[in-house]
A and B are shown apart, each in its own frame.
Chain A
Amino acid sequence: MARVVRHKDMNWLERLYIFEACRGLWTTLKHAARGLFRYEQLPTISYPEGQPEIWNSYRAKHRLMLRPDGTPRCVACGMCAAACPAKCIFIEATQSDDPRIEKRVMRFDIDHLTCVFCGLCAEACPVDALRMDTKVVSFEHRTREEFVASLYDLTSWDPKDYPDDALSQEAPGGTRNAEARKIWGMEVK
Chain B
Amino acid sequence: MSNYYNMPKLPTENSPKVEIFVDDRPVMVPGDTNLLEALKAVGIETPHICYHPYLPVSGNCRQCLVEQEGPRGRMLVISCYTPVVPGMKIYTPASSERVKNARKATQEFMLVNHPLDCPICDKAGECTLQENFMEAGQNESRLRPEVGKNYHGNPDHQFVDSKGQVRGGKHVDIGPRILLDEERCVQCDRCVRFMRSVAGDEQLQLAGRADHTYISTFPGEKLDHEYDLCVTDICPTGAMTAKYFRFQKRVWLLSHTPTVSMDDSLGANIWLDHADGKIWRMMPRCNPQVNRSWLSNTSRMAFQTFSENRLPAIDASAIKIGEGKVAIVLGGTCTIEDLAAARMLKDSLGGRAELFGGTFRAVGKADGIAKSGDPMANRKGFKVMGVGDNNLQDLVKRVSEFETLITVNADLFGEDAAAASPLEKIKNRIALSAFDDATAKKATVAFGIRHWSEVQGTMVNSLGILQKLNAAPTAPEAELRPAYEVLSQLSGTAITCASKAFKKAGEYASVLAEYSYDNIKSTGALLNGVEV
Contacts and interface: CB of A to CB of B under 8 A. Distances in A.
A103 B120 contact: yes
A183 B162 contact: yes
A75 B116 CA distance: 13
Given A95-B246, A100-B159, A77 B119 contact: yes
Interface in A92-145: 93-95, 99-100, 102-103, 126-127
A185 B162 contact: yes
A82 B118 CA distance: 14
Contacts of B120: 75-77, 102-103
B161 interface: yes
Contact of B247 (A79, A94, A185): A94
A76 B252 contact: no
A53 B120 CA distance: 38
B480 to A, nearest CB: 28
Contacts of A185: 162
Interface residues of B, number: 15
A75 B119 contact: yes
B36 to A, nearest CB: 33
A37 to B, nearest CB: 60
Contacts of B162: 183-185
Interface residues of A, number: 18
A78 interface: yes
A157 B120 CA distance: 25
A156 to B, nearest CB: 24
Given A75-B120, A77-B119, A103 B247 contact: yes
B250 interface: yes
Interface in A64-99: 75-79, 82, 93-95, 99
Contacts of B250: 77-78, 82
Nearest to B250: A78
Contacts of B252: 82
A102 B171 contact: yes
Interface in A19-75: 75
Contacts of A77: 118-120, 250
Nearest to B170: A102
A100 B247 contact: no
Interface string B273-286: 00000000000000
A5 to B, nearest CB: 54
Contacts of A184: 162
A95 B162 CA distance: 20
A127 B159 CA distance: 22
Contacts of A79: 119
Contacts of B118: 77
Contacts of A102: 117, 120, 170-171
Given A75-B119, A183-B162, A185-B162, A99 B247 contact: no
Nearest to B171: A102
Contacts of B161: 100
Contact of A76 (B170, B247, B253): B247
A79 B252 CA distance: 11
Contacts of B246: 95
Interface string B227-258: 00000000000000000001110101100000
A85 B446 CA distance: 45
Contacts of A78: 250, 253
18 contacts: A75-B119, A76-B120, A76-B247, A77-B250, A78-B250, A79-B119, A82-B250, A82-B252, A93-B247, A95-B246, A95-B247, A99-B171, A100-B159, A100-B170, A103-B120, A103-B247, A127-B119, A185-B162
Given A77-B118, A82-B250, A102-B120, 20 more contacts: A75-B119, A75-B120, A76-B120, A76-B247, A77-B120, A78-B250, A79-B119, A95-B246, A99-B170, A99-B171, A100-B159, A100-B161, A100-B170, A102-B117, A102-B170, A103-B120, A127-B119, A183-B162, A184-B162, A185-B162
Interface of A: 75-79, 82, 93-95, 99-100, 102-103, 126-127, 183-185
